[in-house]
Amino acid sequence: PKEEFSSLIVNAHETSVGHIYNLDSMGKYAKKHNMFFIVDAISMLVTDPLDMQASNIDVVIASSQKGLALPPGLTMVILSPKAIERLKDVDNLYFDFKDYLQNGERGQTPYTPAVTIMLQLEARLEQIARRGGVEQSIQSAKEIAEYFREAIKPLPLKHYSEYMPNAMTTLTPTDGKSAMEIVNDLEDRYKVMVCPNGGAQRDVIFRVSHMGEMTKEYTDVLIDALFDYYGVKR
């Protein structure tokens, strides 16, 4: 019964298969059932839309790697006013957000963080702002994702998920080739790296990122390599 559950926690983008969830629907469901809505947005940050207010999100978990395209080492948690209110009843040594909020007022953290990556985060956020803000960043990822998906249509590769983010494209070979073999061949023959999958999916999926400093020019290098690999004229 629903009253047993206090929270709904989801990763907005299932990075392993490139599937993005509908946060609006989930937020409506959480609100209807009076559940706390917590979203891990790590791999769709600044490439796909995220609106805490519109989607009734109480907590967003972010981190320096993936979407923000910085080295890993930092986790950021964004709290809604409702979440901050709820903290008042929580007493815990781990993740004592009250302590973080209190220290934040003097520009500090309770424990020593990865300071060098914080400086990189500051530079990255300034870069995004300089280029036109998060909306421009999302638009740019969207354009590159669509450009890539359109360009590779003649090749024997299909989308693995119907609900792909702008962050990346997940592809499955339709000619019986192994996905891992394609990943290795692209690296060996063209010095182009795409992301393999592990475990049961190793032969089924490979992933192409559109995050970070990705441009149409970089994407063309991969598209050209794929066309040459399949012996198809672009």
Two structure tokens written together for 168: 């990346």
DSSP 8-state class, residue 121:
H
Which residue, 198 or 231, has its beta carbon nearer to a second copy?
198
The amino acid present at 219, given as its one-letter code, is T
Q: What's the rounded Cα separation, in Å, for the pair 196 and 208?
A: 9
| 123 scored as a contact of a second copy (CB under 8 A) | no
| 172 scored as a contact of a second copy (CB under 8 A) | no
| 73 scored as a contact of a second copy (CB under 8 A) | yes
Two structure tokens written together for 184: 């290795």
The amino acid present at 93, given as its one-letter code, is L
| 212 scored as a contact of a second copy (CB under 8 A) | no
Residues 82-121, mask of contacts with a second copy (x by CB under 8 A): ------------x-----------------xxxxxx----
Least distance in angstroms from the C-beta of 112 to a second copy:
4
| 16 scored as a contact of a second copy (CB under 8 A) | no
Neighbours of 7 (CB within 10 A): 11
Which residue, 94 or 176, has its beta carbon nearer to a second copy?
94
* Closest alpha carbon to 53 in 13, 82, 77, 75: 82
Q: Which residues bind a second copy (CB under 8 A)?
A: 63, 65, 71-73, 94, 112-117
